[in-house]
């Protein structure tokens, strides 16, 4: 049974982390009426403060308990038994940090790229951060749903206002796809409320047992909402469009954080609340995971647009994450969660890399580049690091996650690990082919005058490069945060299903 | 402890140093890497003496990944096998560093080149020092990465960056099996540490696994999965395709990575895992056959190539085949022995080829060479020694090691004995093509353009010194392993017995230790005849009757074209694999599944909603009388239904 460990820090850390950006937005509204630069600096200060505020979450994190930590709880709408409860455990705490870090990086990366409606842009970015942090911290379903939906709006605006030529199509597609999922989830939430004893408290809802019939439908409702978000094959077609049209920071947040909400949802809701349905659906989900791995890789390979290529590679990488999660064992789950972090770091960085040359050339077509290494050697080094990280080179973050995932999958269902491993071959093929066409070979005359990265751009990539090697070479500090929570999650899944598992072993 | 850690970490430090400060070091950038690798060499020698007595050194650096029962660290295990590898790697690497000072002089990527060399040296040393399978895998990929960087060193050339990418991806195909093998080992043994796995491998000998309905021996499956990785890394059939292309890299790289060290990692791995391979006769037979067929296959291609580096590259593939045969028949010591001598004479052949290319202003086609003997005497002399060594001329290093493999294959029962004939024929071809190179390059008339011919010059001393040292090694290195049959003491065997046991690492019933010395001497004479015969034929065809090769090629066009085009294997892969995958990804997965099915469905739903809304919108006309009419109709219908049903 999960319990609350109330926040003992001198300030309500989670509320501050979640709502600091709102304060910053208000400040921008009040003080930066005509002054774009002030808006930028205010946004930077806010994002930096939020990041600093979130640091105690990992530094003071108690790795010995699976209970929710840093919890704040206040009644909100007593009539419906709705409470304001925020808290984190091993699954969510790293995602909160990822969010605050990536938002800070995004503010810096948008410094010059965004020249129109700067104030509004920064506000959208900051409000998005509030939504994202809220999603990972909310421990009340009602609150969760509000954050979940609230986050859609700034993202929709980021794509729809600051996006590329087909921004409206992409923004509406993004919105409708996710909203379709959300609607299903809302039905699920209402059903849970009535079946789970008139409460929205996630921890309480986890502690109950639901009849299989109900689990089946609730699992499906939540699963579809999250699968669209991940996105799993075949719900992925919004992602390439959204990425291509979104501004750089939008892509970074989208790939780095928003996709993780889908897999976070699996971990927070589907697995612990509907364990029997989880076991029932696992074979099917593993199949679509490996289909996604291979399919995403194949389609990524032949893309002509850099952002589309990375978008499809995300489909492949997130396939690994879901494969690990539904392997339902320690290595699979820990690898899956670590890979969520890795994908956020690496793919976020790759989108930043694309943004850096897009700002200079205003094109993302692979065919327009070639030989850039000659003119941009520092950029080439960073781009190479993240390319290698993406293809899972040992010594870097991606390898640790992928290896644990495949090991977990191998333990539970050998064949999926075998197919998944094929994805690693393809990953090398499409990433290196892309890198070759962009960075190697002859330099095109039109790119003769390109300048290498400046310090601001380096500042956006250095922290991510540090994380790439840190997680790759010393993953234990990260894995330590996961161990106890993952064990508890496994107990929750297997608690009611132990009989089935035992029966399978005997057979 | 610090001493052993310094062996790999000195080059790593040099890499970091050069990577960060290289652009300011400019043409002095070779000093940190050179200093580091020389120091590593000294430490490696001292380590060798420490394990001479039969002990071994183990040390854990730090705990790397812990997840549930999965617990892997980074650590060192230095036994006699590792010690030999350390010597080979640091020796050749040091010499290649020195050579590169001259060869790469003036290249604008000079600091970058030395940084990569250091990174490679670090990775290779960590690979051979690993004490567990995951660390082996990690540095296995890391050396592949360095190979990728160095093959594509001149990245502006499309062919070079293509070759680098091809090397990496083909190796990944091999690593696919290797990775699965590592997982299967973990699932079986619950650990990835060599010692624990090897100590208990015997207990799992009888276990089986089910794959697609078939039942297979567990040890066979593990061994073959691991071997898949070795096939990729050591460029054996059918994954050999990357190595000839890898010649796009600078020639010192070809010597170090693609001849002496990295490509032999596969042999090292099979030898390292001998407790597993020994439990699976099937896997050993696969290793034997793969090696034997590759040895012959690659040497036939080498007959017809004109690019001097490509001939040596195919020769490398072929020699690696010999080493695998040795492992396959259980003669691991012989395999490692040949690995060592090969590192010296093949490294020398590459560096010599580099010196020739240097002299010829970048020309690599032997049809445009000839008569260089006088102009570059040091290069010629050392190249000749290496060629004599690889051809198996008695007294040189290659003779002892190759002959031992042939002997072990001949005396083994089963696959090895048959494969002996493939190897013997390949040895004949080896002697032939090696001297074809000598005669085409150094003898006859110079066929180069006047300008090039005028420029021909001997390489600077900094390049000749490594040639001379390697030539010395290519001559004398064999004397650590002179067989007892001709009065030697075979100290190498005694040394390696600490790892492989029993003097031969013999698998029961495969190698017969007591075979008569008389037979061994006879077989030795046969080997000598084969080698001398090959050299003689080359002499006849390229010196005595220089128009003969053209006639032979003309008379057997089909065979000649097949060999000249490397059996069309690249083309077959493109046709069967690469192009169909690209086509299906574009024209089916993307344009049909994504665009025409999923997106069409999504857009159709959207259009449907849109269309329905347009219809429904008409109802909201805003006119009072429309709504009044609607109400009246509604009341009428409801009342009517009510009356009707009642």
pLDDT tens digits along B558-596: 888 888 888 888 888 888 888 888 888 888 888 888 888
**pLDDT for residue B646:** 67
- What does the mean pLDDT of chain B come to? 87
- Percentage, residues of chain A above pLDDT 70: 97
Query: Strands (DSSP E) along B79-152, which ranges?
Result: none
pLDDT tens digits for range A462-501? 999 999 999 999 999 999 999 999 999 998 888 754 444 4
- What does the mean pLDDT of chain A come to? 90
Q: Is the pLDDT of residue A502 over 50?
A: no
What is d(CA A382, CA A398) in angstroms, rounded to the nearest whole number? 16
Among B63, B157, B158, the residue with its CB nearest the CB of A476 is B63
Whether A118 is covered by a domain: the verdict is no
Higher pLDDT, A277 or B482: A277
Whether A402 is covered by a domain: the verdict is yes
What is d(CA B254, CA B99) in angstroms, rounded to the nearest whole number? 12
Q: Is there a contact between A476 and B158 if contact means CB atoms under 8 Å apart?
A: no
**pLDDT for residue B515:** 58
Q: Is there a contact between B67 and A331 if contact means CB atoms under 8 Å apart?
A: yes
**pLDDT for residue A505:** 47
Q: Is there a contact between A441 and B155 if contact means CB atoms under 8 Å apart?
A: yes
Among B186, B582, B598, the residue with its CB nearest the CB of A302 is B582
Q: Are A358 and A368 in contact (CB under 8 A)?
A: no
Q: Residue B80: name the closest of B53, B40, B46 by CA.
A: B53
Q: Is the pLDDT of residue A144 over 60?
A: yes
CA distance B159 to chain A (A): 9
State which residue of chain B sits closest to A401, comparing Cα positions.
B65
Residue A307, domain extent: 279-507
Best to test chain B binding among A417, A432, A494 (most B CBs inside 10 Å): A432
Among B158, B183, B584, the residue with its CB nearest the CB of A406 is B183
> What residues in A contact B157, CB-CB < 8 Å?
441
User: Which structure tokens are listed for B399?
Assistant: 């003779």
Whether A502 is covered by a domain: the verdict is yes
Best to test chain B binding among A179, A302, A400, A419 (most B CBs inside 10 Å): A302
Among B67, B173, B598, the residue with its CB nearest the CB of A425 is B173
**pLDDT for residue B186:** 93
Q: Is the pLDDT of residue B510 over 70?
A: no
Interface subset of B 555-574, CB within 8 angstroms of A: none
What is d(CA A215, CA B450) in angstroms, rounded to the nearest whole number? 85
Whether A262 is covered by a domain: the verdict is no
State which residue of chain A sits closest to B591, comparing Cα positions.
A299
Cβ-count burial of A469 within 10 angstroms (0-12 exposed, 13-18 middle, 19+ buried)?
A: middle
> What residues in A contact B138, CB-CB < 8 Å?
394-395, 399
Does the beta carbon of B208 lie under 8 angstroms from any beta carbon of chain A?
Answer: no
Whether A134 is covered by a domain: the verdict is no
pLDDT tens digits for range A229-240? 988 988 888 899
Using pLDDT thresholds of 50, 70 and 90, give the confidence band for residue B514: low
Among A301, A399, A404, the residue with its CB nearest the CB of B67 is A404
Q: Is there a contact between A299 and B180 if contact means CB atoms under 8 Å apart?
A: no
Q: Is the pLDDT of residue B411 over 90?
A: no
H or E stretch at A75: strand A68-77
**pLDDT for residue B583:** 85
- Rounded to an integer, the average pLDDT of B541-561 is 83
Q: Is the whole model's pTM more than 0.95, yes or no?
A: no
Q: Residue B262: name the closest of B329, B198, B346 by CA.
A: B346
Interface subset of B 158-177, CB within 8 angstroms of A: 158, 161-162, 164-165, 168-169, 172-173, 176
Q: Is there a contact between A432 and B137 if contact means CB atoms under 8 Å apart?
A: no
> What residues in B contact A474, CB-CB < 8 Å?
62, 64
- Rounded to an integer, the average pLDDT of A49-78 is 92
Q: Is there a contact between A237 and B183 if contact means CB atoms under 8 Å apart?
A: no
- Percentage, residues of chain A above pLDDT 90: 63
- Rounded to an integer, the average pLDDT of A262-275 is 93
Q: Is the pLDDT of residue B523 over 70?
A: yes
Best to test chain A binding among B15, B20, B68 (most A CBs inside 10 Å): B68
Q: Is the pLDDT of residue A418 over 70?
A: yes
Lowest mean per-residue pLDDT among A158-162, B66-70, B80-84, B411-415: B411-415
Q: Is the pLDDT of residue B119 over 90?
A: yes
DSSP state of B156: T
**pLDDT for residue B343:** 92
Other C-beta atoms lying within 10 Å of the C-beta of residue B426: 28
Whether A300 is covered by a domain: the verdict is yes
Which neighbouring-strand residues pair with B65? B72
Using pLDDT thresholds of 50, 70 and 90, give the confidence band for residue B508: very low
Among A330, A443, A474, the residue with its CB nearest the CB of B67 is A330
Q: Is the pLDDT of residue B643 over 90?
A: no
Using pLDDT thresholds of 50, 70 and 90, give the confidence band for residue A2: confident
Q: Is there a contact between A441 and B158 if contact means CB atoms under 8 Å apart?
A: yes
What is d(CA B7, CA B385) in angstroms, rounded to the nearest whole number? 31
The distance between the two most distant Cα atoms of chain B, rounded to a whole number of Å, is 121
Among B165, B186, B590, the residue with its CB nearest the CB of A436 is B165
Among A334, A394, A422, the residue with its CB nearest the CB of B142 is A394
CA distance A422 to chain B (A): 7
Q: Is there a contact between A298 and B593 if contact means CB atoms under 8 Å apart?
A: no
**pLDDT for residue B375:** 85
Whether A233 is covered by a domain: the verdict is no
For A392, residues 6+ apart whose C-beta sits below 8 A from its C-beta are: A398, A399, A402, A403, A424, A427
- Percentage, residues of chain B above pLDDT 70: 98
Tokens 């003071």 sit at which residue? Answer: A60
What is d(CA B349, CA B353) in angstroms, rounded to the nearest whole number? 6
pLDDT tens digits for range B248-284? 889 999 989 888 899 999 999 999 999 999 999 999 9
**pLDDT for residue B507:** 41
Does the beta carbon of B646 lie under 8 angstroms from any beta carbon of chain A?
Answer: no
Q: Is the pLDDT of residue A444 over 90?
A: no
Q: Is the pLDDT of residue B199 over 50?
A: yes
Cα Rg of chain A (Å, integer): 22
- Rounded to an integer, the average pLDDT of A217-225 is 93
CA distance A187 to chain B (A): 21
**pLDDT for residue B220:** 92
For B513, residues 6+ apart whose C-beta sits below 8 A from its C-beta are: B502, B503, B504, B506
Whether A125 is covered by a domain: the verdict is no
Q: Is there a contact between A330 and B179 if contact means CB atoms under 8 Å apart?
A: no
Q: Is there a contact between A330 and B173 if contact means CB atoms under 8 Å apart?
A: no
Burial profile B481-516: b = 16 or more Cβ within 10 angstroms, e = fewer: bbbebeebebebbebbbbbbeeebbbbeebbeeeee
pLDDT tens digits for range A377-406? 999 999 999 999 999 999 999 999 999 999
pLDDT tens digits for range A76-127? 988 888 999 999 999 999 999 999 999 999 999 999 888 888 899 999 999 9
Q: Is there a contact between A476 and B65 if contact means CB atoms under 8 Å apart?
A: yes
Q: Is the pLDDT of residue A339 over 90?
A: yes
Using pLDDT thresholds of 50, 70 and 90, give the confidence band for residue A1: low
Q: How many domains does chain A have?
A: 1
pLDDT tens digits for range B452-486? 888 888 888 888 999 999 999 988 888 888 887 77
**pLDDT for residue A507:** 38
pLDDT tens digits for range A346-363? 999 999 999 999 988 888
CA distance B457 to chain A (A): 31
**pLDDT for residue B30:** 87
Q: Residue B403: name the closest of B412, B390, B418 by CA.
A: B390
pLDDT tens digits for range B279-313? 999 999 999 999 999 999 999 999 888 899 999 99
Using pLDDT thresholds of 50, 70 and 90, give the confidence band for residue A310: very high
Q: Is the pLDDT of residue A319 over 90?
A: yes
* Whole-number Cα distances in Å, A320 to A228, A292, A337, A405, A480: 16, 8, 10, 7, 21
State which residue of chain B sits closest to A440, comparing Cα positions.
B155
pLDDT tens digits for range B228-248? 999 999 999 889 899 988 898
Cβ-count burial of B5 within 10 angstroms (0-12 exposed, 13-18 middle, 19+ buried)?
A: middle
Using pLDDT thresholds of 50, 70 and 90, give the confidence band for residue B74: very high
Among A334, A410, A425, the residue with its CB nearest the CB of B67 is A334
Among A299, A410, A421, the residue with its CB nearest the CB of B187 is A410
Task: Tell me the ipTM for this assembly.
Answer: 0.90
pLDDT tens digits for range B205-217? 888 888 887 888 8
Does the beta carbon of B183 lie under 8 angstroms from any beta carbon of chain A?
Answer: yes
> What residues in B contact A432, CB-CB < 8 Å?
148, 165, 168-169
Using pLDDT thresholds of 50, 70 and 90, give the confidence band for residue B503: very low
pLDDT tens digits for range B169-196? 999 999 999 999 999 999 999 999 999 9
Q: Residue A436: name the closest of B36, B232, B155 by CA.
A: B155
> What residues in A contact B590, CB-CB < 8 Å?
299, 302-303
Interface subset of B 41-80, CB within 8 angstroms of A: 62-70
């Amino acid at each position: 049974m999960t319990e609350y460990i109330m926040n003992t820090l001198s300030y309500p850390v989670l509320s501050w982390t979640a709502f600091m950006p709102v304060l910053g937005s208000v400040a921008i509204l009040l003080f930066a009426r005509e002054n774009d630069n002030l808006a930028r600096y205010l946004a930077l200060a806010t994002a930096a403060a939020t990041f600093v505020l979130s640091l105690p979450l990992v530094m003071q994190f108690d790795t010995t308990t699976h209970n929710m930590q840093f919890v704040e709880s206040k009644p909100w709408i007593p009539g419906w038994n709705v409470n304001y409860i925020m808290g984190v455990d091993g699954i969510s705490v790293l995602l909160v940090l990822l969010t605050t870090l990536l938002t800070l990086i995004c503010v810096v990366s948008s410094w010059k790229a965004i020249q129109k409606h700067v104030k509004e842009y920064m506000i959208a970015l900051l409000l998005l951060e509030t939504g994202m942090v809220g999603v990972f911290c909310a421990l009340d379903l009602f609150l969760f749903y509000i954050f979940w939906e609230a986050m859609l709006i700034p993202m929709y605006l980021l794509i729809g206002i600051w996006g590329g030529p087909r921004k409206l199509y992409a923004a509406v597609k993004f919105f409708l796809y996710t909203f379709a999922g959300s609607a299903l989830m809302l039905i699920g939430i209402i059903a849970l409320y009535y079946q789970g004893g008139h409460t929205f408290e996630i921890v309480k809802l986890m502690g109950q047992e639901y009849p299989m019939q109900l689990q089946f439908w609730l699992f499906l409702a939540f699963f579809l909402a999250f699968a669209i978000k991940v996105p799993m094959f075949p719900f992925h077609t919004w992602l390439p469009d959204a990425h291509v049209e979104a501004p750089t920071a939008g892509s970074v947040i989208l790939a780095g954080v928003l996709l993780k909400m889908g897999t976070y949802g699996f971990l927070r809701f589907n697995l612990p609340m509907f364990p029997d349905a989880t076991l029932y659906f696992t074979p099917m989900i593993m199949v679509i995971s490996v289909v996604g791995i291979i399919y995403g890789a194949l389609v990524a390979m032949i893309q002509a647009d850099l952002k589309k290529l990375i978008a499809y590679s995300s489909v492949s990488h997130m396939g690994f994450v879901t494969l690990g999660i539904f392997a339902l064992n320690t290595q699979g789950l820990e690898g899956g969660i670590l890979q969520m972090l890795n994908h956020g770091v690496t793919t976020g960085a790759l989108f930043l890399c694309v943004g850096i040359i897009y700002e200079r050339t205003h094109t993302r077509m692979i065919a327009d580049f070639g030989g850039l290494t000659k003119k941009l050697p520092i950029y080439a080094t960073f781009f190479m690091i993240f390319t290698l990280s993406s293809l899972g080179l040992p010594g870097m973050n991606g390898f640790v996650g992928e290896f644990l995932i495949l090991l977990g999958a191998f333990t539970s269902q050998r064949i999926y690990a075998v197919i998944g491993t094929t994805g690693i071959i393809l990953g090398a093929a499409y990433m290196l082919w892309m890198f070759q066409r962009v960075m190697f070979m002859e330099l095109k005359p039109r790119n003769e005058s390109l300048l290498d990265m400046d310090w601001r751009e380096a500042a956006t990539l250095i922290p991510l490069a540090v994380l790439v090697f840190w997680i790759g070479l010393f993953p234990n500090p990260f894995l330590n945060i996961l161990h106890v929570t993952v064990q508890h999650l496994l107990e929750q899944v297997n608690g009611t299903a132990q009989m089935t598992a035992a029966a399978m072993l005997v057979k | 402890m610090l001493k052993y850690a310094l062996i790999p970490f000195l080059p790593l430090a040099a890499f970091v140093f050069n990577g960060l400060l290289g652009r300011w070091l400019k043409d002095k950038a070779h000093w940190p890497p050179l200093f580091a690798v020389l120091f590593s060499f000294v430490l490696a020698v001292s380590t060798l003496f420490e394990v001479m007595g039969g002990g071994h050194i183990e040390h854990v650096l730090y705990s790397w990944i812990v997840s549930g029962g999965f617990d892997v660290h980074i650590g060192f295990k230095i036994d006699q096998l590792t010690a030999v590898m350390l010597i080979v790697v640091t020796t050749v690497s040091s010499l290649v560093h020195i050579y590169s000072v001259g060869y790469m002089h003036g290249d604008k990527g000079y600091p970058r080149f030395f940084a990569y060399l250091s990174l490679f040296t670090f990775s290779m040393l960590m690979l051979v020092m690993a004490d567990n399978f995951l660390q082996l895998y990690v540095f296995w990929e890391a050396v592949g990465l360095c190979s990728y960087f160095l093959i594509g060193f001149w990245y502006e050339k499309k062919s070079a960056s293509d070759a680098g990418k091809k090397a990496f991806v083909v190796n990944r195909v091999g690593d696919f099996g290797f990775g699965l093998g590592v997982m299967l080992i973990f699932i079986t043994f619950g650990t990835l540490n060599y010692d624990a796995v090897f100590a208990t491998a015997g207990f799992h000998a009888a276990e089986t696994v089910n794959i697609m309905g078939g039942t297979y021996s567990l040890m066979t499956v593990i061994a073959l999965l691991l071997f898949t990785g070795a096939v990729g890394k050591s460029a054996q059939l059918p994954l050999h395709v990357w190595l000839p292309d890898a010649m796009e890299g600078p020639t010192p790289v070809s010597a170090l990575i693609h001849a002496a060290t990295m490509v032999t990692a596969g042999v090292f791995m099979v030898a390292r895992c001998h407790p597993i391979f020994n439990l699976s006769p099937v896997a050993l037979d696969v290793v034997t056959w793969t090696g034997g067929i590759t040895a012959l296959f690659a040497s036939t291609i080498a007959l017809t190539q004109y690019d001097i580096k490509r001939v040596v590259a195919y020769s490398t593939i072929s020699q690696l085949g010999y080493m695998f045969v040795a492992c396959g028949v259980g003669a691991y010591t012989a395999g490692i022995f040949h690995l060592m001598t090969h590192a010296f004479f093949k490294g020398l052949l590459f560096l010599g080829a580099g010196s020739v290319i240097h002299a010829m202003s970048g020309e690599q086609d032997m049809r445009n060479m000839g008569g260089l003997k006088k102009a570059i005497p040091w290069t010629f002399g050392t190249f000749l020694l290496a060629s004599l060594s690889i051809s198996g001329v008695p007294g040189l290093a290659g003779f002892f090691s190759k002959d031992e493999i042939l002997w072990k294959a001949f005396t083994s029962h089963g696959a090895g004995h048959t494969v002996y004939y493939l190897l013997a024929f390949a040895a004949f071809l080896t002697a032939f093509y090696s001297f074809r190179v000598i005669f085409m390059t150094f003898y006859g008339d110079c066929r180069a353009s006047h300008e090039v011919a005028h420029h021909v010059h001997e390489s600077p001393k900094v390049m000749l010194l490594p040639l001379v040292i390697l030539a010395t090694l290519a001559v004398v290195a064999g004397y650590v392993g002179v067989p007892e049959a001709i009065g030697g003491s075979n100290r190498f065997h005694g040394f390696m017995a600490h790892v492989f046991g029993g003097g031969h690492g013999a698998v029961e019933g495969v190698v017969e230790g007591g075979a008569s010395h008389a037979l061994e001497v006879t077989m030795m004479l046969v080997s000598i005849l084969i080698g001398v015969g090959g050299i003689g034929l080359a002499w006849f065809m390229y010196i005595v009757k220089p128009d003969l090769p053209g006639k032979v090629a003309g008379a057997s066009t089909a065979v000649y074209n097949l060999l000249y085009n490397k059996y069309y294997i690249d083309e077959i892969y493109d046709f069967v694999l690469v192009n169909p995958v690209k086509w299906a990804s574009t024209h089916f997965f993307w344009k049909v599944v994504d665009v025409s099915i999923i997106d069409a469905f999504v857009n159709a739903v959207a259009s449907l909603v849109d269309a329905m809304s347009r219809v429904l919108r008409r109802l909201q006309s805003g006119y009072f009388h429309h709504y009044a009419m609607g109400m009246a109709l509604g009341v009428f219908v409801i009342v009517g239904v009510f009356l009707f049903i009642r």
